[in-house]
Structures are given as structure tokens and as C-alpha cells.
Structure 1
Amino acid sequence: MIKKIICLSIPAIIFANPFNATLEDEASWLKEETFVISASRVKENVKKTSASVTIIDDDAINKMGANTLLDILRVVPGLGVSQSNIYTDKIAIRGIETWFSEKVLILLDGHSLNSDLLNGGATSTFANFPVEQIKRVEIIRGPASALYGENAFTALINIITKESQDINGVQISTKVGSYNTTATNLLLGKTYQNFDIAANINYRDTDGYSAYVANDVVGNSGYTNPTSKRLNTNLSLKHNNGIYVKANYNKTEDGPRYGVAHAINNEDKSKRESYFVELGNKYKISDDYTLDSRVYRDFFQFDNTWRVFPAGFPAPVFTNGMLGYSGVDNIKSGIEMLLTVKKENYTVVSGLSYEQQQIKHPWQKMNWNPLTGAPLASVQDFSDPSTNFVSE
């Protein structure tokens, strides 16, 4: 599938409220200021934004003892987090919940992590993003599609990572926890001549909580198997003239939890691999005009193994059980330009973006007919490399 998106945004105008106060009052007010970027794509005082905003910084993250992005989101008002049996973590906003959370736009330093392979969602890959490299998380509850386009229907979550001055050296940490959980993290931050460099490597391995199930969907008993291995690397390179490069690589392998059809097994496995590279420039034309431009390329791939039902079920035709294997690649590339005009009493943001998405190399193997569900004597290949998927 090739998906092309051209978006011309309608200028967003943000009016500033006049502020009259004594110098002493203003100094006190400034000390309490908290700024947000995601609400209007420009830096503004959170008290002046019209959006429903929650900001959680690294100090609050450390105090709450969070290990992943999901741990952070669990404390956000109006937001709920749950898990499904097909390796997806679901985010509910004000009662609206979908399997892949495709109505929630998740950004990493302003870069969209949502993928068409996940029905437009991002949580199954980045819900467990490590907290060690997070400077703050900005959560905007409510629609934000006028500024960010597709997926920002119910909420926007922007993960803002630490910069070189936040790290200022090398930081190495290791965590050990229950269920054979280990996590190792390396942070590097350095300013060298005209460049700011920030990098992070995080690896996490856990057996997960294994719960006993007395009676699953087919009447069997046993323990769940929610093993998980995750590798995440992040790189930011900035020049003081406004040019920057951002890159991220993520690899995940999850065990079966409690089975895609609620039938306990030790064979289900989901492997996901993704990366993105972004080159951009923040060019200050004048004190009032700023032009932000960027080009990017994203890659996402999954490889799944499903034992839908165990051997002998559904009886009597599936003597080896129901088996399925599938995989596909998603490539996304695009360009975006934003012009920001900031005057004393208002700010105007307008822009143009172009994006192309391709679904490539789809494959599937199974021991049942995908159209009728009828059993087959063995696992057969139903892949069709020439298949063209119609874009939405």
C-alpha cells in the first residue's frame, strides 16, 4: 500500500492576555512559570493555554518511581491504561478506548511514532519507552488534529528527551527487580564546539508476572508467560545554527501473555523493530518570524507467531491446533515546513506537509483457510508479494 498525505494547515492564532503588575509581582509570577510546547506548537505559559494540559517532568517521574511511559500515564487525570491479549497497551481518554490507541498521537521530541501497521497506533511499540532519557512528558487532552493532523483525535502525548546540558557527562544505571527483571541504561550528554550531543541506550529484560489460570477458554489450566525483551536507543545532534539530526531505534520481543484467543500457550511471540531518522533546521528569519523545516524516514516491521488454539482444539479437525505466522514492513517518509509569526499580542502558526507511506513484503502462513476458517492438513503459505492494499 502506498499512502500519500498532503496537508495544508489552517493558521492557528493564539492571542496573549495583557499583563499589568508591579515588578515585584511579575518576578514572583515568573518563578512559578511552567511552559508547554505541544499545545500550540510554540512555547507558551501553561496558565495561558486554552488546552487541557498535564506536564510531568523528570523530578516528578523519579519521585513516583516510574520505569516506563505507561507508568507515567497512569497518574494523568482523565486517562486510563490497560492491556490486551495481543501485545497492545491501550490508552483510554475520557472513556474513548480502541485496541491500538490510534486516536492518540504519540510524539518523541515532536516526531510522530504512530504507524499504519498498528491501525495508526503506537502504544504496542513505545508504551514501555524508558524513563531515564525523558526530560518531561506533555499530555494534551482533547482534539489536536488542526495542528498535528491524523491520529490526534482524543489526545496528544509528547515525550521530550533530555538534552546535552541536562546530562552533562556520562550516566550509567542498572535496575534489578522482581520476576527476573533487569534494566541497564547509558546516558551521554556533551557539548563539543558548536554541537550538542545527547545519546541513550536502554535494555530491559523481564519474565513478567506469571499468573495461574485455572480454566482458560478451552478448559486448560496453567500459567501465563508475559516475557519481554526491549532495546531502545536514541540520538540527538544539534548545531548552534539550528540544524539538527534525530534518530531512534527500537526492538521488542514479547511472549504470549495469555494467548491471542485466551488459550494459554508458550509459543505465541511478537517481534517488532522500528527506527526513524529526522533532519531538520530551525531558522530564525527575524525576531518575529521563524521557519521550521524537516525531512524524515521511518521504518516499522513486525513478525508474529500465533498458536490460536492448542493441539486437539477445536476438535476433532485441528489435531495440531490452530497455527498462524505473519509479518509486514511499513516505510514512512515525508517533509514538513512550519512558519511561526510571533507578535506582541498574538502568534500565527501555518505550515505545509507531505507524507508517503508504503506497506511492503506482507506474508502470512497458517494451517487454516483465511477466508473460510476451514482446517488444512499443514501450514501453508498465503503470502502474495504483489498484493496492493488500498489506502484509506
Structure 2
Amino acid sequence: MNFKLSEDRMNEHTPNKNIMKQLTNIFFYSVLGLSTLVSSNLFGQVADEDIFEMSLEELMNMEVTVASTQALTSRESPGIISLITSSDIQKSGARDLIDVLRTIPGFEFGVDVQGVVGIGLRGNWGHEGKILILVDGQEMNERSYATSQIGNHFPLEQIDRIEIIRGPGSATYGGYAELGVINIHTKKGKDLNGGSLALKYGQMQNTFGRREADVMFGQAKEDLSYDIKFHIGDGNRSDRIYTDLYGDAYDMKDNSGLRTTMINAGIKKNNLSTRFIFEDYNLEQRDLYDAILPVTTDIKFQGIYGEVKYDAKISEKLTVTPKIQYKSQKPWVQNDQTARDLDIYYDKTINQILGEVVLNSQISEKTNLIGGMQYYNDKAESQTGYEFASNNSTSLSFYNFSAFAQGLFKTNFALITVGARYNKHEQFGSAFVPRIGITKVIDKFHGKLLLSQAFRAPSIENIDANLDIKAETTTVFELEAGYQMTQNMLLTANFYNILINDPIVYFYDVATDEEGYTNYDKTGTRGIEVDYQYRGDWGSVGFNYSFYTAAGNNKVASYSVDGNDDELLGFGQNKANLLASIKVTDQFSINPTITYLGERHGYATADASDDPVLQNFDAETFLNLYMLYKDLFIPGLQIGAGVYNLTNNDYAFIQPYNSSHAPLPAASREFIIKAKYSFTK
């Protein structure tokens, strides 16, 4: 691909100075505001519930709802569950969601196209519609290509907890909950009980890594609760050199900006609740597909999310919850003059209206039944007069109807979960996916046997690119055993087998400069995950290890590694994490993290015929160290400092499918400093 611009046009393309000026002003005044609050100590109490001192047993008994509408402990819950608290995030010093998820078994990341980084899980590329990301119940996956963008996107300071399912979601989710669910709960009125101001700055070797500010207010009083949270951030993906398949290169220091603005507000009065989220995520890129661009271009991901929900208490045993959600997204937008000149212009809006009714019946202490119906309509509209190929119109829409049911039965033998979901999609007809789980807790031992199916209909752009595209279905078998060795130690291990039939796979053809989607026969992985946790008076330590193999499950050529049927592109088979928190005093802790990623394979160069050449990437180790001081000088003030990628390894995000995109370098060593002040009203 060859791109030519006039020298004048190239000189015109400069970073957005207004954004930078606004961020600088916000950062300055936020520091001033923090200093004022600290010096005056207006309220003098910490708002967030302090869970730094929770024992292992207390954490195990924290209830989650990610795998069931009924609150259960993670040991009882019918899913392979990971729970991450705000305390975990604070102590680790995590910079963004990548840092958090990398400490969870099975998670890894890869580059898609145009500077976008997505999620892989258990060796499978889950970026396009296979992993559901929820923020306060709002689906954040964009509805055009069904992707989710990772890296300086979701503000960590606002998070109360993250509930993760490694495996298909509950029958109540459907949609993109095919390989996993990342359910993010932000801080609500009762969690804030006042407000907080948080600032973050990171410095890489050659440029700043991030500049962020979060302001939150909220309160819960009798039958009224409200919260409002603001986030603004500016960062860089990397400060290293990107080299495309053909040897052309550019410095990412000034060409990989990540800018985020997010507003999240909610109010609840008695049983009526509303939620509003606005996000504006912008990234700079020059990597495009196989060949780099002559200048940097911006890609925008914008969204507005709204929900109204009412919990109608029909009786002590029956609750009916109707809800309406509205979503308007503008993903992958490139609509400036530079994009026109480079012929990469894209500007479409996707609107979704969703209605749902759920019945939750606690028939007895031992029986809980839920059931519901959901209807949504997706409508895409071109903002430029572009006509969709599938209908020769400037708009394209589809509806989907689903019905679901799930029962939890506490028997003397075990806790048994049985569920199913029925889907009827306008384009692809109907599908039925069942789910069964058997979980048992016997004193210090727990076991889980889970068999689940998931159905995912193609998204708007999947359909428009290929009218013959089919829906994909996934079958997952999971087995987990856990044992509380002592009051302070817990060991769990699980085995899984994932098989995706008719997987929807993206491709980019270098020769024709065309992209599209097609179905393959099957793909999937099987593997094991081991997790050890210890918590004592002096602190905590955790270790986890994950391994996958694709042997016998993968038939997607663009995912495969030639000569090695066990491995898939971009994702190493072995990963291990060692996490510790050492309490020096009740206020001061030292928190090291070590992550080992096994060797990977990907395409980084091309031969004389411009065909991609497979390359082996050595194993990498991340060493991170973060120190946190709570209640410094006054209650509610936290100061933290640390370093990520202490060894300054040369890790890069590899494309997990063969479409000629070279690995995208990640950040160099980054020094982090954070300040947060929380107060109660």
C-alpha cells in the first residue's frame, strides 16, 4: 500500500493542542484543589470501605452475581470466577485494565489493526464479540464490529470491584458472553459517601505515559442514592519504534496517543434506578494494516449509554424487573481531511434500543428461578451517504429476540444450576443453548462441574461484509477443585475444553487491499489454570499459572502456527503471575508483581515476495513494584509511587491472526505516581 500526501498536508497534521491545554489546566487545578482539601481537611474521613485488612476467609465469602442473579460466594458460584476489589487495584498500582487482567489466569492481549489492542482468553482471540465487557450493567462492546478496545480506556479509580467469568456467561447474558464476562462495578453512593479526587502521572523513558484525573461524588441516604463520576486522561501507548512488515518505521512517542473522557452518573430512588454513561476514547495511529501511514491519524470511539430499571416487589418471593436501555455509538470513526486523503474515511452511527423483563422467584430457601425475555434492535446509519453492500441503503438494521431461564437448586447433594437461552435473530434464524452447573462446598473443599453453550450472531459489519456469514456457537466444559489448606491459604485448579463451531474470523487481503469476514470449521483450546492465595497479618501473596493447547481443536488457518498445532498466533502457551503485598506498617505497604509470559509466535517481517515470515518471540518477564501509603498526614489521603516493567523488556502486542500486521511495541519502563483524597460528607 502506498500513501502520498503533500508536504503542506503533512505539516498540517499536528496533535490536538487544545486537548493538551485542557488536560494541563485540569491537572494543575486538580492538584490545587487536592492541596486545598488536604490543608483544610474539610471532612476528614475516608469514604471508601477499607478492605485492606480483610482475611482470606472474608474475601472468599464476598458474594458475586456475575454468574447468577442470586448472590453467591465465588466458591459456590456456577462459573470459574475471579474477583478483583478496589483494594487489589490500589495496592497493585495498576495503570489500566491491561495491568489488572494480566494478573488473571488465561488473559493476554494482541493488536488488531490501526493501533487497537484487544483481549485474548485461554489462547483464543476474543476481541471481536467473544468477551463481554459490562460497566454498571451497560454493554461496552461496540455494535459495529463487536470489538472492545483496551489500554487507558476504563478508569480504574472509579472501580469498586470487577467480577470475571472465565468461560461462557450466565444464560441471562447471551450476546458477547461467549468466552468470558468482565463485569465492572463502579463506586456508587454508599461506596463514596462523599467524594474523592484522584490524580495519576506516568513517565516512560522518552515521553509521558499518562496524565489522568478522576473526580467522584456520591451519597446514599434512606431511600435515595446517587453518584456522579468524571474522568479525563491523556496517555501514550508506547515510546518505541514500530516497524511494519516491509521495514518502514516510525517513532510511536508522538504517534500513539490515547485520550479518554468518561462521565458515569446514576440515581436510585426506592426501587427505580437510572444510569447514564458517556465515553469518548480517541487513539492516534500510523500502523494501519500491513504498511504504515505517512502521517498520524485519529480514530474515535464514542458512546452514550442510558438505562432505566425498576425492581417491582410483587411479593416476598417474586420480583419483576423491567428495564429499557439505549445505546448510541460511533466506533472506528475517521472523518477528518487526512482520512479522506488516505482513503480510510469511516463515519457510521449504531443505535440500539433494548427492552427486557426478568422475573426472579425465590420459591424457597433451596430453590431460585429466574426467567425473562429480551428484544433489541440494532440500526447502523452512514453519516456520509455510503451505502451498505448488503442492502444498497445508507442504513442497515436487525432485530433479535431471546428468552432465557435459569434455576438454582440447593440439594443435599450439591448446588445445581440449570439454564437455557433461546435466540431468534432476524438474519440467522433461531438457536438454543443450554447450561448446567454442579457446585459443591464441603467444609474446606469445593468442586465445580460446568457444561455451557453460547450463541453469537454476527454484528452489523460482519453481515455487511459477507451476506453468507453464519452465527457461531461455542461449547465449553469446565471442572474446578479447590481446597482451603489453612485459615490463610487457598489452592484451586481447573481444567477446561473450548470448542467454537463456525467461528467468525476477520481477514485482510494485502494483494487486493480488502477486508472481510468468513466462517471456518472450528477453533478452540483446552488447558489448565492453577491459583494459590495466602493472606496473613503481614500481608498477602498470590501465585497463578495457566497453560493452553490448541491441538485437535483449531482448524482456522490464520490462527495457526505452522509446524506447531499446540499453539495459536500471538498467545504463548504458558503464563505465570506472582503477586505480593507486604505491610510494613498499618498504613504503608510494598507491592511487587512478577509476570512471566512464555514464548510466542507471530509475523513481523516479509520475504522478498512480500509474504509474511513467521517469527519466534522469546519469553518475557514483567517486574513491577509499587509502594502505597494510606492516610498520609490526614485520614483519606493516599500517595503511591512505583515502576512498571522495571527490567525494560521489549514486549510487543502480536496480531493473533495472520493479516500482515507487525507486532505493536508496548511501553518502555514507566514510573508512576498517584495521589488520591477521599472524604465523607
Same fold (TM over 0.5): yes
The one of 257, 266, 278 equivalent to 2:307 is 278
Q: Which amino acid aligns with 1:353?
A: Q
Q: Output the CA distance in 1 between the equivalents of 2:258 and 2:58.
A: 45
Q: Does 1:41 align with 2:62?
A: no
Q: Which amino acid aligns with 1:50?
A: P
The one of 55, 79, 100 equivalent to 1:72 is 100
Q: Output the CA distance in 2 between the equivalents of 1:291 and 1:264.
A: 54
CA separation of 1:51 and 1:31: change in aligned 2, threshold 3 A: closer
The equivalent of 1:111 in structure 2 is 138
The equivalent of 2:197 in structure 1 is 172
1:70–1:128 contact (8 Å) kept in structure 2: no
Superposition deviation, residue 354 in structure 1: 1.1
Q: Output the CA distance in 2 between the equivalents of 1:92 and 1:109.
A: 22
CA separation of 1:364 and 1:175: change in aligned 2, threshold 3 A: farther
Superposition deviation, residue 280 in structure 1: 0.6
Q: Which amino acid aligns with 2:194?
A: G
Q: Output the CA distance in 2 between the equivalents of 1:101 and 1:44.
A: 30
Deviates more, 1:139-148 or 1:256-265: 256-265
SS in 2 for 1:73: helix
Gaps of 5+ in 1: 1-27, 310-319, 372-383
The equivalent of 1:386 in structure 2 is 394
Deviates more, 1:335-344 or 1:259-268: 259-268
Q: Which amino acid aligns with 1:120?
A: A
The equivalent of 1:336 in structure 2 is 356
The one of 248, 262, 280 equivalent to 1:220 is 248
Q: Output the CA distance in 2 between the equivalents of 1:231 and 1:30.
A: 35
Q: Output the CA distance in 1 between the equivalents of 2:318 and 2:151.
A: 34
CA separation of 1:153 and 1:301: change in aligned 2, threshold 3 A: same
Q: Output the CA distance in 2 between the equivalents of 1:75 and 1:307.
A: 41
Q: Output the CA distance in 2 between the equivalents of 1:129 and 1:211.
A: 24
TM-score (norm: length of structure 1): 0.77
1:261-282, Cα deviation, whole Å (9 max, x unpaired): 3415433220121011100112
SS in 2 for 1:63: helix
1:259–1:307 contact (8 Å) kept in structure 2: no
The equivalent of 1:186 in structure 2 is 215
1:327–1:363 contact (8 Å) kept in structure 2: yes
1:307–1:324 contact (8 Å) kept in structure 2: no
Superposition deviation, residue 387 in structure 1: 5.1
The one of 141, 146, 154 equivalent to 1:120 is 146
CA separation of 1:37 and 1:145: change in aligned 2, threshold 3 A: closer
The one of 345, 363, 385 equivalent to 2:366 is 345
Q: Output the CA distance in 2 between the equivalents of 1:243 and 1:94.
A: 39
Q: Output the CA distance in 2 between the equivalents of 1:31 and 1:223.
A: 45
Q: Does 1:356 align with 2:384?
A: no
The equivalent of 1:291 in structure 2 is 320
Q: How many residues align?
A: 334
Q: Which amino acid aligns with 1:189?
A: G
Q: Output the CA distance in 1 between the equivalents of 2:310 and 2:298.
A: 40
Superposition deviation, residue 158 in structure 1: 0.5
Superposition deviation, residue 296 in structure 1: 1.2
TM-score (norm: length of structure 2): 0.46
SS in 1 for 2:114: coil
SS in 2 for 1:337: strand
Q: Output the CA distance in 2 between the equivalents of 1:266 and 1:88.
A: 17
Superposition deviation, residue 82 in structure 1: 2.6
SS in 2 for 1:245: strand
Superposition deviation, residue 191 in structure 1: 3.1
1:326-375, Cα deviation, whole Å (9 max, x unpaired): 1100000111111111221121111111111100125488xxxx99xxxx
2:286–2:292 contact (8 Å) kept in structure 1: no
Q: Output the CA distance in 1 between the equivalents of 2:59 and 2:156.
A: 26
Q: Output the CA distance in 2 between the equivalents of 1:227 and 1:299.
A: 24
CA separation of 1:216 and 1:164: change in aligned 2, threshold 3 A: same
Q: Within 5 Å, give how 1:1-392 maps onto structure 2.
A: 32-98=60-126, 100-117=127-144, 119-121=145-147, 123-124=148-149, 128-144=153-169, 146-178=171-203, 179-180=207-208, 181-191=210-220, 194-213=223-242, 216-224=244-252, 225-239=255-269, 241-256=270-285, 258-302=287-331, 303-304=333-334, 322-342=342-362, 343-363=364-384, 386=394, 388=396, 391=427
2:167–2:179 contact (8 Å) kept in structure 1: yes
Gaps of 5+ in 2: 1-55, 399-426, 428-457, 459-681
Superposition deviation, residue 218 in structure 1: 4.3
Q: Output the CA distance in 2 between the equivalents of 1:356 and 1:330.
A: 10
